[in-house]
Amino acid sequence: MQKYKKIGFLLICFLIVGVIVFVMNFKKETSTQTNKEDTETSSIRAHYHFTVPDKWKNDPQRPLYVNGKYHYYYLYNRDYPDGNGTEWRHATSEDLVHWQDEGVAIPKYTTENGDPWSGSVVIDWENTAGFGEGAFVAIVTQPSADGGKQEQFLWYSTDKGQTFTPYGDKPIMENPGTHDFRDPKVMWDERDEKWKMVMAEGAKIGFYESNNLINWEYTSGFTTEGMGIVECPDLYLMQADDGALKWVLGASANGLSTNKPNTYAYWIGDFDGKEFIAEQNDPQWLDYGFDWYGGVTFEEGTQKDNLTRRYAFAWMNNWAYAHNTPTLQEGFNGMDSIVRQIELKHEGDNHYYLASQPIEALNKLETTTESFKNINVNGSKTLPLKGDVYQLEADISWEKLKNVGLRLRESADKKKHVDVGIFYNPEQPYFYVNRSNTGHPDENLQLVESTSPFNTNKKQVHLKIFVDTTSIEVFIDDGKKVHSQVIFPEEKDQGISLFSEGGEAVFSNLKFTNMKSANH
């Protein structure tokens, strides 16, 4: 009997110990899960913008569409913020919204010619360069072993763009004697079956041609004015909505000295295969915000007719404050704008412009929607909505007023917000996006309100606004004007208010749509 009492006692002890261990493990797992959820909740990684997995990214390289996927390369620094040098990292996507990281394709410091900078990659379907039919051929700027001169080097891939091999250690294009000689953009011209290239050469854009992607000949130059050094040039043919065929020459440029944007400038004109002639001296701009630089345009892979529309996106940052971002606390710095569709439109007396709209694939991320037909505002009105990742669309009309718009990412006390609106006066009305009342990257407070001209005779506007955790992009009317800005609001600041000063405005067809993350 005594023996069974001891056994019972031992069983009870084991049972008690087991319960204690179970409770401790449960608490540990619960704590771990809570910490994980807290971390995910507090993350400010963008939900539907492309972001670098870690460390640093800047210039995007023009994507290519092959076998159902877009292949995207971008400048990446694995040693950021302690070490220098960029390399080409690779990502793929079927819809330009959801991305798969493919790792580094062109590593840095693998030759004597330093690290790879910007350039472009093409697919050599006809084997003009001799690396095989369908080889990926990249022409890339590198600071050469010859004193660090900016020169052009060729890399090629025979494994569908996963890894690239350098074509020797000598440049295929030597520096012609200018400090700036970079960012080659290559295209195939069916008219004479030659490769054509545009190159950033200080304030000039140089034009070159080749039969084989290796030997290049200079044909002409296009000189810009009032925008300093141009970067990342672009050249493509488009068909306007009136049927006219026009060539577009683009480049990232800084027009701030003349009160112009610091984004993507473009000229409409004619390119005969050797020389570009612009129809107007002053450029137009694809974005009026502060954070749309190094932009690239590219063909929509699923369409046989690539003349009526193209895609475009850019690095969403500014060299004035490129390293000032709270995302560094999460170990990364680098984001792109959403991909937009661009079309060439005709207006007035033979004037053409590029109109931008967000790509339809973003609609896949839409979740819940709330709509309002007509809201009359004279003063301020707070909507019964909250959000930090969403799309908002609205029509605004008025008869007479001074200022009208929306306050987004607004704090509970109304002191912090991003303002999107129109300052309307008979002499020079303008559209604006003002981030001065919320967190933003410009410590010098010089780049807080972006503006664009607004038609004096207009008394209505259509807005399509995309808000993500650290960004806002505003498409005005048909997208002739777009403003892209980086913002750093507090997570809890999620209010939305409408305002009108100096008169009454009507906000109609207002549609608020929450958006889920593209990262899962």
Query: What pLDDT was estimated at residue 338?
Result: 98
Angle at 477 between CA 475 and CA 478, to 5 degrees: 85
Please list, in sequence order, all residues whose beta carbon lies within 8 angstroms of the beta carbon of residue 296, skipping any fewer than 6 positions away. 60, 61, 62, 63, 232, 234, 312, 313, 314
> Which whole number is the average pLDDT over 409-422?
98
Confidence of residue 304 (pLDDT cuts 50, 70, 90): confident
Q: pLDDT at residue 425 above 90?
A: no
- Distance between CA atoms of 414 and 102, rounded to whole angstroms? 44
- Distance between CA atoms of 429 and 398, rounded to whole angstroms? 14
| Stated pTM of the model | 0.91
- Distance between CA atoms of 201 and 179, rounded to whole angstroms? 8
Query: What pLDDT was estimated at residue 179?
Result: 96
Amino acid at 204: K
- Distance between CA atoms of 68 and 151, rounded to whole angstroms? 33
Q: pLDDT at residue 303 above 90?
A: no
> Which whole number is the average pLDDT over 67-89?
97
Contact 398, 500 (CB under 8 A): yes
Query: What pLDDT was estimated at residue 330?
Result: 98
Structure tokens at 427: 């002499």
Catalytic one among 59, 183, 287, 336? Answer: 59
User: Long-range contacts: 413-416, Cβ < 8 Å, 24+?
Assistant: 414/495, 414/497, 416/489, 416/490, 416/493
Q: Which residue has the higher pLDDT, 11 or 119?
A: 119
- Distance between CA atoms of 515 and 389, rounded to whole angstroms? 6
Contact 421, 407 (CB under 8 A): no
Contact 316, 471 (CB under 8 A): yes
Strand stretches in 147-190, DSSP E = 150-157, 165-166, 182-189
Contact 50, 91 (CB under 8 A): yes
Contact 354, 310 (CB under 8 A): no
CA atoms within 13 A on the CB side of 438: 32
Question: What pLDDT digit, counting tens, does each position of 342-392 carry?
Answer: 999 999 889 999 999 999 999 999 999 999 999 999 999 999 999 999 999
Confidence of residue 39 (pLDDT cuts 50, 70, 90): very low
Please list, in sequence order, all residues whose beta carbon lies within 8 angstroms of the beta carbon of residue 242, skipping any fewer than 6 positions away. 346
Q: pLDDT at residue 22 above 80?
A: no
* Residues in the chain, total: 520
Contact 267, 249 (CB under 8 A): yes
What residues does 518 pair with on adjacent strands? none
Structure tokens at 288: 């009026």
Query: What pLDDT was estimated at residue 188?
Result: 97
Residue 389 phi/psi, 5° resolution? -140, 100
- Distance between CA atoms of 182 and 209, rounded to whole angstroms? 16
CA atoms within 13 A on the CB side of 221: 13
Q: pLDDT at residue 35 above 90?
A: no
3-state DSSP call for residue 213? Answer: coil
Contact 197, 247 (CB under 8 A): no
For residue 109, how many other CB atoms are within 10 A of its CB?
A: 12
% of the chain beyond a pLDDT of 90: 88
Question: What pLDDT digit, counting tens, does each position of 455-505 carry?
Answer: 999 999 999 999 999 999 999 999 999 999 999 999 999 999 999 999 999
Q: pLDDT at residue 9 above 90?
A: no
DSSP state of 364: G
- Distance between CA atoms of 106 and 137, rounded to whole angstroms? 12
Q: Is 388 a catalytic residue?
A: no
Q: Which of 226, 511, 193, 166 lies closest to 369 in space, CA to CA?
A: 511
- Distance between CA atoms of 172 and 150, rounded to whole angstroms? 12
> Which whole number is the average pLDDT over 196-200?
98
Tell the residue number behind the tokens 């195939």, with chain if given.
188
For residue 184, how many other CB atoms are within 10 A of its CB?
A: 24
Please list, in sequence order, all residues whose beta carbon lies within 8 angstroms of the beta carbon of residue 41, skipping any fewer than 6 positions away. 491
